[in-house]
Chains A and B, each alone.
Chain A
Amino acid sequence: MSENPVERLLDSRLVMVTGKGGTGKTTYAAALAVLGAVRGRRSVVVELDNQRPSLTAVFHKEPRFQPAPVRLNLDLANLAWEGALHAYIESVVPSRRVTNLILNNPVVGRFLDFTPGSREMVILSAVGALVEKYDLVVVDMPASGHAFSLLDITRSALGLFRSGPVRTRATELKSLIGDSRTQVVLVALPEEMVVNETLETIARMRSFQMLHHQPTVFLNRATLPSLTEVERELLRRLVAAEDLLPLEREFVLAGRWEDGLEQATATAQRVLAEQLGVSPLLVPPSVPGGVPRDTVEAVAVHLGRSVGATRREIAWT
């Protein structure tokens, strides 16, 4: 297997991208899927039962249950509950007539909707079905706590359902999650809370045997150190100066702001590396005010460098 972490992700079958809310999960899921497509693998990027799919803004197309092409080698989907349920019942029940009988029964609808874990099982099954059809499936997972519950559902299902097709399916899904060609990606930010949640999520996933590999951690919006110690000392003197004019203060505060970002990045990088044994992959912030597509493109270009994908290949036409 490749030593290059980005290449390793692009060579897998299933990549699940999670992280604390607001870290940029959707951006990384989209960027990785675009890179997979650029490398010639039949790829699909999916959201899970999202009522307001975030990928719409990236691909300028509303994702539906049936994957639809958005560019060469890349499809887009949103595994919404109704579609996933239909597909699921069809896959475990032989006849279409019987499927309809089940789906049209009002009590069954409620039962399936609210039986613990059925929603999660059905949606994970839809992911499993895509893995059969595509070379690379990239999933924009829910935020880390919910992503854990979603993956943990196979364990609950195995405890809850002692026989039958659901149990068989749960066993299959459990082995898919733990497969050597399945990878977990966590997107973090250089902030204390985010770093802690990232580490806690990994520890929990590890203790429940959800990880076949070391997960890949991207440290998003990382500001690389630019000041030397002598320069930083000069900045400290400026900060300490008491009689700064308002305009002078604005420049000094800007310098302090950027220095703060650099130090936060260094701290986050150190803590993650110490706890995980590997350094996170640092990705610089994109231009403020950029539209989602530009942000995805910038991240894809950054990640693509290590696998020889050029900006021209990545850019949308």
Chain B
Amino acid sequence: MDVNLDLDRWLAATRLVVCVGSGGVGKTTTSAALGLYAAITGRKVMVLTIDPARRLANSLGLKQFGNEEHQVDLARIPEAKGELWAMMLDSRSTFDALIARVAPSAEARDRILDNHVYRHMADTFAGSQDYMATEKLHDVVNGGRYDLVILDTPPVKNALDFLESPGRLVNFLDERVLRWFLEPAGRGIGGALLAGTTAIVYRLLGYIFGAEFLDDLATFFRDFQGLYKGFVERHDRVVSLFRAETTSFVTVCAPTEPSIDVALFFQEELRTRKLPRGGVVVNQVHLCDGRSHDARAVLGERVAAIAADVPEPIRASVLARLGMAHRRLAALASAESALIVRLRAGAAGGGFFQTVERQEADVHDLPALAKVGRRLFRPAEPI
């Protein structure tokens, strides 16, 4: 795909970026930097994030606004031509809002929100956050208020769980399951032949989970019945959104063995699920290509010149430490570059491949994010 040879062109053709990867690899920073870069070039961008570092959240205004859509003040980035918006995902309130949207009436909505089972279920599903990421996404993308949406996904390493989670909810609400519970005598599925087994199983479930629970659940299902169709439709729309031509998945990782493994796994997952692969970003890369670690030879004269007032043993000790630091950094850089070579080979054909060196300070304000964005968008090579 030659569009990926040029990240600017890739971004221009993209309406939804989904950043995936394990935790602690700078996924939120990459999402925000991508968003800011696009906003600088004139687009109206929404960054949906989960749990940003406190100071990064502050610079995006997320502390005050939390899970409301709000515009980031770009006064410190005078060259910005577009708009940057941000929102933090809060699963519980998103779930309640979703119920409100698909409920046929205000009474139905209230009944469900008050339901014993729902209140616990919302906690459980909400706890994972994965599902809610996709739920909110659907809203934001279809609202048409932004021309680029960037989704910073929850850190997962097992699978693209958040893609499955709408399915998980839909499965739970599957009509067959509903009917089974609403008509426990077994008239629902399989006809009379299964009635005997079903009745036994139902009684056993009552024994395991307690009869009250099955009653609670039946009430819940009765109230939820009308919502099922709405859920399925939304799920289908989210799935087709992920497969859209203008959607692009970006795998973010750091040059460590576990992170590279997860990134390769994601590349494979995306490929087998036929999801559009935008590319790979390797963050936090250390650079140091020196072969000699003799600090005295390189810096001895310089140190003598600028620190004539400092006693010789201290100068010697600083030089020795610089030599050691250089040796360590070079070893780290070389181990990382071996990992990057492996990732690059394994991710071949999956879009662009970009490395970003470790920033000297934490990236927590807009100018620093803008710098990372520029770094991301320097000419990339195809995998």
Task: State the A residues within 8 Å of B (CB).
Answer: 20-23, 50-52, 54, 89, 92-93, 98, 101-102, 105, 107-108, 110-111, 113-117, 120, 143, 145-146, 148-149, 152-153, 156, 159-167, 189, 191-194, 196-197, 226-228, 230-231, 234-235, 237-238, 241, 244, 247-248, 250-258, 260, 287-289, 291-292
The closest CB in chain A to the CB of B169 belongs to A114
The closest CB in chain B to the CB of A24 belongs to B258
Q: Verify B157–A238 contact, CB threshold 8 A.
A: no
CB proximity of B253 to chain A, nearest CB, Å:
10
Bound-state Cα–Cα, A105 to B177, Å: 12
- CB-CB under 8 A for A254 and B259, given A116-B124, A234-B318, A238-B306: no
B123 adjacent to chain A (CB < 8 Å): yes
Q: Verify B212–A51 contact, CB threshold 8 A.
A: no
B299 adjacent to chain A (CB < 8 Å): yes
CB proximity of A14 to chain B, nearest CB, Å:
22
The closest CB in chain B to the CB of A258 belongs to B325
**Secondary structure class of chain B's binding surface, majority of residues:** helix
- CB-CB under 8 A for A247 and B290, given A105-B201, A192-B55: yes
Q: Which of B196-221 contact A (CB under 8 A)?
A: 197-198, 200-201, 204-213, 216-217
Per CB-CB distance, the 8 closest pairs between chain A and chain B, nearest first, are A21-B23, A289-B335, A22-B24, A164-B210, A149-B127, A114-B172, A116-B124, A163-B210
Bound-state Cα–Cα, A251 to B320, Å: 11
A105 neighbours in B (Cβ, 8 Å): 197-198, 201
Quick one: which of A92, A113, A251 contacts B323, CB cutoff 8 A?
A: A251
Quick one: which of A111, A192, A289 contacts B177, CB cutoff 8 A?
A: A111
Bound-state Cα–Cα, A228 to B158, Å: 45
Q: Verify A160–B213 contact, CB threshold 8 A.
A: yes
- CB-CB under 8 A for A159 and B120, given A254-B329, A288-B331: yes
Q: Verify A194–B24 contact, CB threshold 8 A.
A: yes
Bound-state Cα–Cα, A119 to B216, Å: 19
B70 adjacent to chain A (CB < 8 Å): no
A148 neighbours in B (Cβ, 8 Å): 127
Q: Verify A227–B158 contact, CB threshold 8 A.
A: no
CB pairs A–B below 8 angstroms (22 shown):
A22-B23, A89-B208, A101-B204, A102-B201, A110-B171, A115-B172, A116-B124, A143-B23, A146-B127, A146-B128, A160-B117, A163-B211, A189-B24, A192-B54, A196-B54, A227-B321, A238-B306, A251-B326, A254-B325, A257-B329, A258-B321, A258-B328
CB proximity of A196 to chain B, nearest CB, Å:
6
B271 adjacent to chain A (CB < 8 Å): no
Interface residues on B, range: 35 or more
Fill in one digit per residue for B144-168: 1 if any A CB lies within 8 Å of its CB, else 0. 0000000000010111000000001
B303 adjacent to chain A (CB < 8 Å): yes
Fill in one digit per residue for B248-263: 1 if any A CB lies within 8 Å of its CB, else 0. 0000001011110000
B176 adjacent to chain A (CB < 8 Å): yes
Q: Verify A162–B303 contact, CB threshold 8 A.
A: no
Q: Verify A161–B209 contact, CB threshold 8 A.
A: yes
B295 neighbours in A (Cβ, 8 Å): 251
The closest CB in chain A to the CB of B23 belongs to A21
